[in-house]
Structure 1
Amino acid sequence: MPTLGFLKKKRTKDSGSRDLDAPTSPIKESSGSPTTSRTSGSFHLHKTKTGDSLTNTTSNTTTSNTTSNTTTASTSNANANTTPNGSHHPVDSMHATSTPQQHTPSHTVPSIQNLIHASNAAPPRNGAGTVQFHTQPLNQARVTKGKYTLTDFAMQRTLGTGSFGRVHLVQSKHNQRFYAVKVLKKAQVVKMKQVEHTNDERRMLQQVKHPFLITLWGTFQDSKNLYMVMDFVEGGELFSLLRKSQRFPNPVAKFYAAEVTLALDYLHSHNIIYRDLKPENLLLDRHGHLKITDFGFAKEVPDITWTLCGTPDYLAPEVVASKGYNKSVDWWSLGILIFEMLCGFTPFWDGGSPMKIYENILKSRVKYPPYIHPDAHDLLQKLITPDLTKRLGNLHGGSKDVMNHPWFAEVTWDRLSKKDIDAPYVPPVRAGVGDASQFDKYPEETEAYGQAGDDPCVKSPPYTVEHILTCPNSHGHLFPDF
């Protein structure tokens, strides 16, 4: 059985309907399976092992076999919700690792062949026949503050732990659905100087809405903790699937890379840089589609920024060199992700030493294994380049240059954006029952939540100096939006 799972949406074709059900909406079915994440630069969850592999799932044929066995359950439970996401610990303690996974839905639509027509004539390789993808408008800030309290949920179990707290599987007492609640300890967030990143995470998640991004339903706080209510994504982390499979076949890596590309295209169109792309932050829903989670390092940047954050293996050279950088760092990270999916390791890894990794990144010398497809090789060279005047995604065509690259020639972008394509792997989870089998088990929290009563500093501004200095817990004023 796979292990890690985090936050994901509903089934392949129902890309919008089930996402509309908030924890306090009428009783309906529920679904679940959260995940953990590897070490990076924010609140990280410890990874676990996966039981299913893609070793023999090469090419488009395996997908149909996997689909036939698992789609029935997935389809019948399409009404279930998804899970939450985890975040990482601060940049000071960044580590590197990775994990991928995949999914498959049912329907009359052919499996992964809808995405990659291996045996048929492929579309033109020059972008001339590429579907123009229309960016979805950025939602106005959704109402996600103060809607819920601890009494709205029944705690089930811990899904993952990290430097700031942990993620719990919970069940809504109102609609009986399952969600993931990330609990962050205020004192730890402050101590590790992650106040700005934590507030940014909440702000970014409040604004975005996309099929391949995690959904934040609401936030609240008590005297000691911050709470973020998110989808319960039951299929686990892509990291777990990748480690189990060692490396992905070319079509499988292409499927996941394409969904990530659509998500980055959406974020960048709204001036949001993600800055922490890696397999640990990619969750699989029960149909095998991706959800990007952990927005702890996401930031709205119209032009450039200088913050050093992320996971060592995935950092662009301009970030390592402490230069100003822009959205192009996400395209560099996409190149590292594709390389890791195809090879099973990152190009600059060197015994796990961050300093050696940084040295290798600055040299930017990549050795490509001979089994990498020529088109993939060409794309990687154009993404993993320190020359910003040549890096795809940073040129005049923006993200469309990446989407129009020959490696993605067979991708039907508009259908993929609607999840109208079967995924190459469907996680073995039972939908709607809070199935957390894809997650490791952890000792439960010993300190009861909400016991200390209301934090005086959570009350509405204005805050006086005297009030902040005399407040028994003066962290509340640092998180006014929770």
Structure 2
Amino acid sequence: MRGRLSRKLVQTEIGILLKLRHPNIIQLREVFETDDEIQLVLELVTGGELFERIVEQGQFSEKDAAGAVKQILSALKTEYENSKLKLADFGLSKFLKNGSYTMNTLCGTVGYCAPEILLNKEYDLSVDLWSVGVVMYIMLCGYEPFWDDAGEIGMCKRVVEGEFEFSSPWWDDISDSAKDLISQLLQLEPSSRPTASEALEHPWVKGETPRCTNMANVVKRLREFNAKRKFRAATHAVLATRRAMYLISPERRLTKGLTSPQC
């Protein structure tokens, strides 16, 4: 662990994890610290990622999706009401202290980010509800609501304009109640989105209106979605590695005139 900033960030993350107590939030079991390292022992989680779990399960209905969304919302409610903390994105967390419920850090995956984050505006807890709406949308159709073949620039434009639709035939068999909740969660105006507590009271989340029919075509599309997602992640990793190797390469030092004088 090098640098006071890095250690402070890790200690902040540890403080957050120690305060969380919820069946749907990974628990921090042990912390070991030396002069050079901080080692965290987390709860063993073997279920895999959400979309992978759905594909492996094979059978999947709106009722199953509603159960997953209910667990996510329940975890968010616990974080907000009890711990007074904010999970800004997967792996990036911050405390909200002294009644201050806004941040302005740009973070997250473009397709899941609320528009106020992409516009570099201050944002609050409602950004997580937007992300829940995106996850719910993907679970029910097998593709992203703001996907654009032009890439991330096109996706950003669609997100900040709130441009998504329930296209036929992919959404024809999905209940109007599910579409209603997604539309509420993906409101451009943050104050118009429901809170986690309010969303938990929606009839679809409570299990009153979701359909029980197996969505075989959705599972098939989710399998393709997972494959593309992993390919993109692998591509980004390769590009990042190549970039890092270039930055430390002798060729770059030569172009910058930073070579050591010959002996």
Map of 1:297 onto structure 2: 92
Map of 1:213 onto structure 2: 25
Map of 1:202 onto structure 2: 14
1:151-188 deviations in whole A, cap 9, x for unaligned?
xxxxxxxxxxxxxxxxxxxxxxxxxxxxxxxxxxx35x
Scaled by the length of structure 1, what TM-score is found?
Answer: 0.38
Map of 1:401 onto structure 2: 198
Map of 2:118 onto structure 1: 320
Map of 2:52 onto structure 1: 240
1:202-250 deviations in whole A, cap 9, x for unaligned?
1110111111111101222345433110111122222322455699420
Q: Secondary structure at the match of 1:406?
A: coil
Cα displacement (A) at 1:299: 1.4
Residue 195 and residue 341 in structure 1: after superposition, are their counterparts in 2 closer, same or farther (change >3 A)? farther
- Identity of aligned pairs, percent? 28
Runs of 5+ unmatched residues, structure 1 = 1-185, 278-295, 394-398, 412-482
User: Do 1:247 and 1:344's aligned partners in 2 also have CA atoms closer than 8 Å?
Assistant: no
Cα displacement (A) at 1:334: 0.8
Residue 329 and residue 232 in structure 1: after superposition, are their counterparts in 2 closer, same or farther (change >3 A)? same
1:258 paired with 2:70, answer yes
Report the AA paired with residue 317 of structure 1. P
User: Do 1:197 and 1:297's aligned partners in 2 also have CA atoms closer than 8 Å?
Assistant: no
Q: Secondary structure at the match of 1:275?
A: strand
Cα RMSD for the two superposed structures: 2.4
User: Do 1:379 and 1:405's aligned partners in 2 also have CA atoms closer than 8 Å?
Assistant: yes
Residue 240 and residue 221 in structure 1: after superposition, are their counterparts in 2 closer, same or farther (change >3 A)? same
Counterparts of 1:256 and 1:201 in 2: how far apart (Å)?
25
Counterparts of 1:314 and 1:254 in 2: how far apart (Å)?
19
Residue 225 and residue 345 in structure 1: after superposition, are their counterparts in 2 closer, same or farther (change >3 A)? farther
Counterparts of 2:113 and 2:58 in 1: how far apart (Å)?
22
Map of 1:355 onto structure 2: 153
Trace 1:58-77 onto structure 2 (pairs within 5 A): none
Q: Indicate the structure whose relative CO is greater, using CA pairs within 8 Å and at least 6 residues apart.
A: 1
Counterparts of 2:12 and 2:108 in 1: how far apart (Å)?
14
Q: For this pair of structures, how many residues does the alignment match? A: 199
Counterparts of 2:111 and 2:161 in 1: how far apart (Å)?
13
1:388-438 deviations in whole A, cap 9, x for unaligned?
232111xxxxx3321111212337xxxxxxxxxxxxxxxxxxxxxxxxxxx
Scaled by the length of structure 2, what TM-score is found?
Answer: 0.68
Cα displacement (A) at 1:382: 0.3
Cα displacement (A) at 1:362: 0.6
1:276 paired with 2:89, answer yes
Cα displacement (A) at 1:305: 0.8
Counterparts of 1:268 and 1:307 in 2: how far apart (Å)?
18
Residue 268 and residue 220 in structure 1: after superposition, are their counterparts in 2 closer, same or farther (change >3 A)? same
Q: Could you say which structure has the higher helix fraction? A: 2
Residue 194 and residue 252 in structure 1: after superposition, are their counterparts in 2 closer, same or farther (change >3 A)? farther
Residue 243 and residue 327 in structure 1: after superposition, are their counterparts in 2 closer, same or farther (change >3 A)? same
Counterparts of 2:189 and 2:57 in 1: how far apart (Å)?
33
